[in-house]
Structure 1
Amino acid sequence: MKGRYRNLSIRKKILLAILAFSLLLVGSTTAITVQISRNTLKNQLIYNRKMSTGWLQDRLGLETKDYVNQFYSFEVNKETKSIIMDWCKTGKNLDYTSKLQLISAMNTVISMDSNINSIELYNLKTKQVLVAKRSKADMEEAEEKLKFWEERDKSLQTNIVFKRDGKEIVIAHQVYDFYENVPVALITMKIRPYEIQDILENIKTTEDESVMLFNDEGELIEADYSKSDSKIKTFDFADIMKRFRAGKEQEFYYKDNFWFYRSVNRGKLVILFAVPGFVITNAMRQMLMAGLIIAGIAVIISIAGSVLYSGIFSKPIIALAEKMQTAMINSYSEEMPADRKDEIGVLQNSFNLMMERNQRLIKQEYQSKIEKREAQVRALQAQINPHFMHNTLQTIGGIALEKNVTKIYDMTTSLSDIMRYSLNFTREMVCLREEIRYLQEYLNIQNERFDNRIEFEVQVKKELLEYVVPKLILQPILENSLEHGLINKAGAWRIQLKATLTKENDLLLQISDNGIGLSKERLGQIKDILGKDAGNALKTSSHIGLGNVHSRIRLRYAEAKYGVTIESRPGEGTSVCVLTKAIKENKNDIGESSDY
C-alpha cells in the first residue's frame, strides 16, 4: 500500500489528501453542527411550551381572582350581607323586599359577565336556595343540589371551589359568620366553559398536544385533548400530579410524553400540559435528514461544495438560535426572514408567530389590568351612604311636622345640590373650592339633624382653592368624624379643615375633630386596613370611608407616600391627613366647573 501511494501522481496524492481532509473536517463539523442544532431546537421547543404553560397559569389566576371579587361583592355590600346573615342565621323566610334586593344584586353580577348562566344562594340552615337566572329568579328547595358540598373534604379550602356539572362549570364560595366562625351560606355560579376552552386551545402549538384543567380535589374541570392520540384520556392523571407534587420539577418526560405542571392560585386549579415526544422528534427529523444529505453531497463534490453547503445550512440555524436566545418579547419588532420552504423556514415562521402571539397576549393582559383599575376607581367613587340619605329624609320629615316652610326649602335645596354634585360621574377630579362647598351643604343638613351643634372651620388659603382633588374625597372623612367621633360627645362639636403645600410641593389636607377619639386597639386596626393594597378597600366592613379615600388616591398615584394617615387620642379627638399631588385646575382635563 505504501509503495502504491508513492507511485501515484502528485495530483492524485493531493486529491486523496483533500478528500480525506474534507471527509474528516466536513464529517466532524456536520456532526457537531447537527448535534448542537438538534439540542438547541429541542430545548427551544420545550421552552416554548413552558412559556405557554406559565402564561396559562397567569391567565387562569386572573380569571380566578375576578370570580373571587364577584363573590366578595355580596359580602362587601353591608345591606346585602345583612340580609344574607339575617336569613341564613335565623331561618326566617325572606320578605319580599329583601328577596328583591338579593335578586337585584345577583342579576347585576350576571349582567356584567356573559359567561354566567345563573347564581344560586343556598341557606345552609333551612336547605333553601334562591336561584337567579337570566330569564327568571325564584326560591327552591336545595334537595340534592348541596350533595356535592356536603360530601367535600372538610379540610379543603372554601374560598373558591370549581366543579364540573354537565356542560357547565360550577364555581362555589362559602359565606361565614366571622364572629362565630361558622358557615351560614353558599354562593354558586354556573358558567359556560367556552372562554376557558378558548384559552386552553390557544396555548396549543399543534393538535397532537393535550391540556387538562383539574380542581383541588383532582377532578377534571375542562380539557382539550390530542386529535391524534386517544390514549391520553386513559392516563392516570392523579398519579402524574402526585409525581409532580412529590418533586420540585414542574416538567418531566413520562410514558412517551413531555408533561408540564402548574398550580393556579395556591392549588385551586391545576394545569397538566402533555406534549407527545414524537411532536418534538418530528419537528427535528426533516432538519436532521437535510443535514445528512447536504453533508454527503459536500464530501462527494469537493471541499468548496462542502464549505458552501455547510455555510448555507448552518448559518440560518445559528442565526435563529441566537435570535431565540437574545430576543425579548416586549421589545421584539424585527421579524426574521421566513421566505424558505424547508424545515428551517417552518421553524422561522413558528418563532415569528410565537413572538407575535406572546406580544398580543401581553398587551391583552396589560389592557385587562388597566380596565380593572379604572373599574375599581369608578366603583370606589360611586359608593353612596344610604344611612345619610335616610337620616336626611327623617330630618326633613321632622321639620315638615313643625311646618317650618323656610327650613324645608333650605334643606331641600341643600339636598338637591348634594345629589346633583355626588351623582355626577362625568368628572373624577374637581377643584378644592367645589369640594369645600359640597361639605358646607352637607353640614347644613347635618346641623339641622343635630340642632346646630357642629362648628366647621376652614383654614385654606385662597390660592389653594384652585387645586384639584378626587371628587368626594373629604365627605367620607367628615362623615366618620360625626358617626364615630362626635355622636357620643357632649357640648359643641368642632371640625377643622386645613390645606397646605408640603416641602415636596404636595397638597396636604387635614380634617380634625374634638370627638371622643379612638382606642389604641381600634386605631391599630384602622392603620392595618390602610396599610393594605388598594384592591382590598372594598373588603372592609367598617370605616369604609377611610379605606375608600385611601384606595382612590393610591389607585391614581402609585407612590407609597400618597394616601390617608390617621392619628387619635382617647378623649381628645381624631386627625385624618390626606396627601395627594398638588395639581392646579385645568378645565381641558377635568371639564367645565359646576355651579357650586
Structure 2
Amino acid sequence: MKGIYYNSSIRKKILLVILVFSLLLVGSTTMITVLISRSTLKDQLIYNRKMSIGWLQDRLGLETKDYINQFYNFEVNKGIKNVIMDWCKTGKSLDYTSKLQLITAMNTVISMDSNINSIEIFNLKTNQVLVAKRSGADMQAAGDKLKFWKDREKSLQTNIVFKREGKEIMIAHQVYDFYENVPVALITIKIRPYEIQDILENIKTTEDESVMLFNDEQELIEADYSKSDSKIQTADLAKVIEKFAKGKEQEFYYKDNFWFYRSVNRGKLIILFAVPSFVITNAMRQMLIAGSIISGIAVIISIGGSVLFSGIFSKPIIALAEKMKTAMINNYSEEIPSDRKDEIGILQNSFNLMMERNQRLIKQEYQSKIEKREAQVRALQAQINPHFMHNTLQTIGGIALEKNVTKIYDMTTSLSDIMRYSLSFTREMVCIREEIRYLQEYLNIQNERFDNRIEFEVQVKKELMEYVVPKLILQPILENSLGHGLINKTGTWKIQLKAMLTEEDDLLLEISDNGIGLSQERLAQIREILRGDAGNALKTSSHIGLGNVHSRIRLKYPDTKYGVTIESQTGEGTTVRILTKAVKENRKYDIGESSDY
C-alpha cells in the first residue's frame, strides 16, 4: 500500500489527501454541530415549558388572591359581618332588613364578575343556606350541601378551598368567631370554568401536551388533556404528585413524559404539566433532517472541490517538474539521487541542486560582507589614533619641560596602555569594565593637560560590568565632550557615565557633561548625519566621534533602533545615549584584573 502511494502521481496524492481531510472535517463538524444543537434545542424546549408553567402559576396566584379579597369583603364590612355573626351565632331567623342587606352584598359581587354564577352563605349552626344567583335569591335548607365540608380533613386549611361540582368550580371560605375561635359560617362562590380553561390552553405549545389543575386534596379541578394520547388521562397522577411533594425537584422525566410541577398560593392549587417525550423529539426532527441535508451537500461539495483543486494544484507542479527535468538532462551530467519516483522526486533533485548552488553563492556573498564590515570597523578604529596620539605627545613634551621625571613616567605608562588597548584588533567586543579602565587612563592624561579640572563619575552596577560593547565606543564621546562642550567652560568639568537595561532588555549607555551645550542648528546637523547609513563615519572625517560610534553599532546590529542619539541644551550640557544589544561577556578575566570601580 505504501509503495502504491509513493509511486502514484502527484495529482492522485493531492486528491486523496484533500478528500480524506475534507470528509473528516465535514463529518466531525456536522456530528458535533448536530449533537450540540440537539442538546441546546432540547434544553430550550424544556426551558420554554418552565416559563409557561411559571406564567400559569403567577396568573392563577392572582386569580386566587382576587377571590380571597371577595371573601374578605364580607368580613371587612362591619355591617355585613355583624349580620352574619348575629344570624349564625344566635340561630335566629334573618329579618327582612338583614336578609336584604346580605343579598345586596352578594348580588354586588356577582354583578362585578361575569364568571360567578352564585354565592352561598351557610349557617353552620342552623344548617340553613342563603343562596344568591343571577336569577334571584332565597333561603334554603343546606341538606347534603355541607357534606363535602364535613368530610374534609380537619388538618387542611380553611382559608380558601377549591372544589369541582359538575360544570362549576366551587370556592369556599370559612368565617370564624375570633373571640371564641369557632367557625360560624361558610361562604362559597361558584364560577364558570371557561376562563381557567382558556388559561390552561394558552400555555400549551402543542395539542399533545396536557395541563391539569388539582386542589389541596389532590382532586382534579380542571384539565386540558392531550388530543393524541389518551394514556395521560389514565396515568397514575397521584404517584406523580406524591413524587413531586416528597422531593425538591419541580421537573423530572417519568413514564415517557416530561413532568412539570408548580404549587399556587402555598398549595391551595397544584399545577401538573405533562409533555410527552415525542413532542421534544418531533421538534428536533426538522433540525436533524436539515443537518443531514446540509451534511450531504457539504460531502458532495468536498468531493467535487477535492477533484477540482487537486487538478489545479498538480498541473503547474507537473509542468514545472517536466521543465526542470529537461534542464537537468541538458545541462548536468551527474544526477542527484532521490528516493521518490513521482513528480515530487524530480522537484527534489532539482531543488537539491539549486540549493547547493545557492548555498555556495550565499557563502561567498556572506564572506564578502564580513570582510567588508571588518575593514570598515578597522578603518573607523584607525581614525581615532593619530589625532589622539598627536595631542598626547604634545602634552608629554610640555610635561618633560615643566615637571619631573615621575610625571613623565606616569604619562608614558598611561599612553602605553592606551596604545596597546586601541591598537589591538584581536577582539572587536570588550566588556564595559575594560572600556572604563581605558577611559580612566585616557582621562589621566587629559587631566594633566587641563590642570585636573575633569571629574569623571561612573554609575554602573557591578553586574553590568560584564556586558560587552564594541571596542572604543566611549572614548570618542568623551573626546567630543572635552573638545566641544567643556573646552570653553570655566570651573570644574563634570562627565558622568551611566549604564542600565531597558524594558526590552537592551543595554543603554548614557554619557553626559556640564559643558556649554550645542546650538539647535548644530544639533540638527549632527542628528542628520546620524540618520545616514553606516558608512557615513568613513566618508565624513569631520564628525569622527558620534558618527564613528553610531556606524560601528549599526554595522554590528542592523536593527534601526540601535545606535546613538544626542540631546543638548545651550548652556546646560550635552547627553549622548548609546543603545546596543545586551550581551554578557563569557570569557574569564586574567588574574589581577579588578571588577570594582
| Partner SS state of residue 138, structure 2 | strand
Which residue number in structure 2 is paired with residue 35 of structure 1?
A: 35
Which residue number in structure 2 is paired with residue 96 of structure 1?
A: 96
Q: Deviations over 1:506-550 (max 9, x none)?
A: xxxxxxxxxxxxxxxxxxxxxxxxxxxxxxxxxxxxxxxxxxxxx
Separation (CA, whole Å) in 2 of partners of 1:8 and 1:227: 65
Give the C-alpha shift of residue 12 in structure 1: 1.2
- Is contact 1:118–1:189 with CA below 8 Å preserved after alignment? yes
Which residue number in structure 2 is paired with residue 71 of structure 1?
A: 71
Which residue number in structure 1 is paired with residue 272 of structure 2?
A: 272
- Aligned residue type for 1:238: A
**1:103-182 residue pairs with structure 2 within 5 A?**
103-182=103-182
- Aligned residue type for 1:90: T
| TM-score computed with the length of structure 1 as normaliser | 0.51
Separation (CA, whole Å) in 2 of partners of 1:224 and 1:270: 14
Which residue number in structure 1 is paired with residue 571 of structure 2?
A: none
| Partner SS state of residue 162, structure 2 | strand
Give the C-alpha shift of residue 290 in structure 1: 2.2
Give the C-alpha shift of residue 4 in structure 1: 1.3
Task: Confirm whether residue 5 of structure 1 aligns to residue 11 of structure 2.
Answer: no
% identical aligned pairs: 84
Unaligned runs of 5+ in 1: 307-596
Task: Confirm whether residue 193 of structure 1 aligns to residue 221 of structure 2.
Answer: no
Separation (CA, whole Å) in 2 of partners of 1:189 and 1:22: 71
Q: Deviations over 1:353-385 (max 9, x none)?
A: xxxxxxxxxxxxxxxxxxxxxxxxxxxxxxxxx
Give the C-alpha shift of residue 304 in structure 1: 8.3
Q: Deviations over 1:169-222 (max 9, x none)?
A: 000000000000000000000100000000000000000000000000000000
- Aligned residue type for 2:249: E
Separation (CA, whole Å) in 1 of partners of 2:262 and 2:81: 35
Separation (CA, whole Å) in 2 of partners of 1:150 and 1:127: 12
Deviation >4 Å, runs of 4+: 303-306
Separation (CA, whole Å) in 1 of partners of 2:71 and 2:303: 72
Unaligned runs of 5+ in 2: 307-597
| Partner SS state of residue 302, structure 1 | helix
Give the C-alpha shift of residue 140 in structure 1: 0.1
Which residue number in structure 2 is paired with residue 428 of structure 1?
A: none
- Aligned residue type for 2:284: M
- Is contact 1:19–1:299 with CA below 8 Å preserved after alignment? no
- Aligned residue type for 1:284: M
Task: Confirm whether residue 51 of structure 1 aligns to residue 46 of structure 2.
Answer: no
Q: Deviations over 1:221-243 (max 9, x none)?
A: 00000000011010111110111
Q: Deviations over 1:260-281 (max 9, x none)?
A: 0000000000000000000000
- Aligned residue type for 2:151: E
Give the C-alpha shift of residue 305 in structure 1: 7.0
Which residue number in structure 2 is paired with residue 225 of structure 1?
A: 225
Which residue number in structure 1 is paired with residue 283 of structure 2?
A: 283
- Aligned residue type for 2:202: N
Which residue number in structure 2 is paired with residue 294 of structure 1?
A: 294
Q: Deviations over 1:442-482 (max 9, x none)?
A: xxxxxxxxxxxxxxxxxxxxxxxxxxxxxxxxxxxxxxxxx
- Is contact 2:23–2:302 with CA below 8 Å preserved after alignment? no
Give the C-alpha shift of residue 298 in structure 1: 1.4
- Is contact 2:160–2:172 with CA below 8 Å preserved after alignment? yes
- Is contact 2:26–2:299 with CA below 8 Å preserved after alignment? yes
- Is contact 1:172–1:186 with CA below 8 Å preserved after alignment? yes
Which residue number in structure 2 is paired with residue 216 of structure 1?
A: 216
- Is contact 1:298–1:305 with CA below 8 Å preserved after alignment? no
Q: Deviations over 1:147-181 (max 9, x none)?
A: 00000001000000000000000000000000000
- Aligned residue type for 1:88: C
Which residue number in structure 1 is paired with residue 340 of structure 2?
A: none
| Partner SS state of residue 284, structure 1 | helix
| Partner SS state of residue 119, structure 1 | strand
- Is contact 2:53–2:262 with CA below 8 Å preserved after alignment? yes
Separation (CA, whole Å) in 1 of partners of 2:135 and 2:158: 29
| TM-score computed with the length of structure 2 as normaliser | 0.51
Separation (CA, whole Å) in 2 of partners of 1:166 and 1:39: 44
- Aligned residue type for 2:50: K
| Partner SS state of residue 72, structure 2 | helix
Which residue number in structure 1 is paired with residue 16 of structure 2?
A: 16
**Structure 2 CA distance for partners of 1:89 and 1:304, relative to 1, 3 Å:** farther
Give the C-alpha shift of residue 303 in structure 1: 6.8
- Is contact 2:88–2:123 with CA below 8 Å preserved after alignment? yes
Which residue number in structure 1 is paired with residue 240 of structure 2?
A: 240
- Is contact 1:175–1:184 with CA below 8 Å preserved after alignment? yes
Which residue number in structure 1 is paired with residue 207 of structure 2?
A: 207
| Partner SS state of residue 212, structure 2 | strand
Task: Confirm whether residue 257 of structure 1 aligns to residue 249 of structure 2.
Answer: no
Give the C-alpha shift of residue 286 in structure 1: 1.9
Separation (CA, whole Å) in 1 of partners of 2:293 and 2:302: 14
Q: Deviations over 1:403-458 (max 9, x none)?
A: xxxxxxxxxxxxxxxxxxxxxxxxxxxxxxxxxxxxxxxxxxxxxxxxxxxxxxxx
Separation (CA, whole Å) in 2 of partners of 1:232 and 1:305: 53
- Aligned residue type for 2:183: P
Separation (CA, whole Å) in 2 of partners of 1:239 and 1:137: 43
- Aligned residue type for 1:57: Q
- Aligned residue type for 1:257: N
Which residue number in structure 2 is paired with residue 513 of structure 1?
A: none
**Structure 2 CA distance for partners of 1:56 and 1:304, relative to 1, 3 Å:** farther
Which residue number in structure 2 is paired with residue 559 of structure 1?
A: none
Q: For the pair shown, which has the larger CA radius of gyration, 1 or 2?
A: 2
